[in-house]
A and B are shown apart, each in its own frame.
Chain A
Amino acid sequence: MENWKRSAQAFFAAFTPPTFWLVAFFIVPLSLIWLYSFSMKTGVTDITLNWNLHQYARALEPLYLGIFWKSILMAAATTAICLVVAFPVAIAIVFSKPTMRMWLLLLVILPFWTNLLIRTYALIAVLRTNGFINGGLGWLVEKGDWLLSLVGLGDNTIIGPFEPLSLLYNNTAVVFGLVYVSLPFMVLPLYAALDRLDRSYLEASLDLGAGHFRTFFSIVVPLALPGIASGIVITFIPAMGSYLTPDLLGGTDSQMIANVIADQFKQANNWPFGAALSFLLMYATFFALAVRAVLMRKEGRGDVK
């Protein structure tokens, strides 16, 4: 394949099917949605293309901008928590014995082997009113009370009675679920970046009098920046557009933008408006990628302070 012009037939044989696939199942549907976003709904099933920005204007109303903003906040919270949790995990994997490392990496990617829907229902079983967490806490309170009753302080005079915590159907549950789903996407790029890091940089930093804490922030973080940026982007973008997690774990006020889009295509049956919201989400995603590209280019020039 060093010169495709010389074996043009082979080239076309190899590249036509994927090209066809992309055009037929990606470009064409996407173009249709793009056209919808400039259309008006004129009947139950009738859509008229009239090239106006009416749908976009509606999408930018405070109600929907609010949901956009909320989605960004939820995704940002998810990304931040993932970063804080994933960094120690990635460091632990990098510094573990080579034989151990393989198993630890396997554990990180193990959740991918189970369907997201099933994992989310499992989370519901953990978090719900009479779920595992509340059940466990209730048991502890009950036994604690029994122990206290031995010294005459029973019958909930000091602790209890146990009120189940409402862990489900709120924003915290959604962020918790998103963190759970997204964590591998943060751990893996961080692991890759830290694995490439020459250990002697860390030793040099220690040798020059820095403690482990200073070494982490002055040496490890700056040198792992490309991995951190990748991790942030591939955690933030899917979290921003997540549908299932807020749908199943969220409450009435936990709707994210993907839920609103789905509603427009389903219950509201307003495809043009759903299309406009979709494209706004996509532009936001492109913007995030562009910011990352600019940051990475700076990194490449070595200008990062």
Chain B
Amino acid sequence: MSDTATAPATGEPIIRIENVSKIFGGTVKAVDEVNLEVQRGEFFALLGPSGCGKTTLLRMLAGFEVPTHGQVIIDGHDMSTVAPNKRPINMVFQSYAVFPHMSVEQNVAYGLKMDRCPAKEIRERVAEALDLVKLGSLGKRMPDEMSGGQRQRVALARALVKRPSVLLLDEPLSALDAKLREAMQLELVRLQKTVGITFVIVTHDQSEALSMADRIAVMNAGTVQQVAAPTTLYEAPANRFVADFIGKINMIEGDAMKAGEGEVTVTAPGIGEVTLAGSETGKVALAVRPEKIFVADNEPADPNVIKVKGKVGEVAYFGSYSNVFFDIGLAQPLQADISNVTTDVEEITFTAGEEYWVYWRKADTLVLSG
């Protein structure tokens, strides 16, 4: 389409989603009052469990669904009701949707033919796109002679050859086996940096989103829970849902009261009273990631830690670390990922029933509501 992809980054976001809702059959709210901005040249991920509305949101960007309310603004134009074939956007489908009755070249050329490109330009751009996805020599193949990974590259080339402003990817890696998936993650990031096109990817796999995306929108039940960079999402989740959905986390229920500017005092069973940075009051959860927990034989003297006595329960050894569950007298055991920093087998072995002091820094403790 246009050459907007190569335009220099400006402050104006390439996609603005404003108060968008999608209601199916009059009652089912698939997407509920979503506001989002995707910046030019960004690798953006929509992450959430199945049924959270992320695919519906993507399909509204592609034009296959029309928002019930709100606006989808792409490159400064309201595209809410524009047909898919009139949008500067292309999509890589979950099933790849590589046309089975056309060769690889014909598949990639299809979109350019629809734009009535001259034959010579089509040939050049198809060859270029196939080289980009490393399928340069397979242009004459039919799709049924190719592996799943190769077909996906065809789907990528077919979308990229049109030089869209935005490339949408719907669960692009879900049909690949684990090893290929990892390779393809790196490949997609490389590709995105090479072509400089904005990528919006939908995935339910958090590790996929964390490793690839510049920014991630975490969705649940049709609403956006948090939009942030991967590190922020993991280290400073906005609420319980995000904390729980991204990675593993321990949560201890408690009550919070305002203690000062940006500080709350949380009372929790087994821990007592502790004053932490935070603003949430009322019913909250004290949350800490398993790898931020330390274990000691003697009571730690540091006043800047939260400490409890715990009895070793289940232990799972993963080589570089051990996942140990400590019974701290609450309904939920506390899980800790203990890094195995020594080769002393004696020292890194945890036996069920042993008692330890389990502690973590106050600064690593999150006060979460919701």
Residues in chain A within 8 A of chain B (CB atoms): 198, 200-201, 203-211, 214, 218-219, 222-223, 302, 304
Contacts and interface: CB of A to CB of B under 8 A. Distances in A.
B101 A304 contact: yes
A304 B89 CA distance: 30
B84 interface: yes
Given A203-B84, A206-B83, A208-B90, A214 B100 contact: no
Interface in B71-113: 83-85, 89-91, 93-95, 97, 99-101, 110-111
Interface in B90-147: 90-91, 93-95, 97, 99-101, 110-111, 114-115, 142, 144
B153 interface: no
B158 interface: yes
Contacts of B84: 203, 206-207
B162 interface: yes
Given A198-B95, A201-B97, A207 B110 contact: no
A207 B89 CA distance: 8
B199 to A, nearest CB: 15
Nearest to B145: A302
Report which residue of B95, B97, B144 has the largest number of chain A beta carbons within 10 angstroms of its beta carbon: B97
B93 A210 contact: no
Contact of A204 (B63, B91, B115, B142): B91
Contacts of B114: 208-210, 214
Contacts of A201: 97, 99
Given A204-B91, A302-B144, A209 B85 contact: yes
A203 B158 contact: no
A199 to B, nearest CB: 9
A210 B102 CA distance: 15
A209 B111 contact: yes
B20 interface: no
A222 B101 contact: yes
Contact of B162 (A209, A218, A304): A209
Contacts of A219: 99
Contacts of A208: 85, 90, 110-111, 114, 158-159, 162
B62 interface: yes
Interface in B223-282: none
Interface string B147-175: 00000000100110010000000000000
B64 interface: yes
Given A198-B95, A214-B114, A206 B100 contact: no
20 contacts: A200-B93, A201-B97, A201-B99, A203-B64, A204-B97, A204-B99, A205-B110, A206-B83, A206-B84, A207-B84, A207-B89, A209-B111, A209-B115, A210-B85, A214-B114, A218-B110, A222-B101, A302-B100, A302-B142, A304-B101
A115 to B, nearest CB: 42
A209 to B, nearest CB: 4
Contacts of A206: 63-64, 83-85
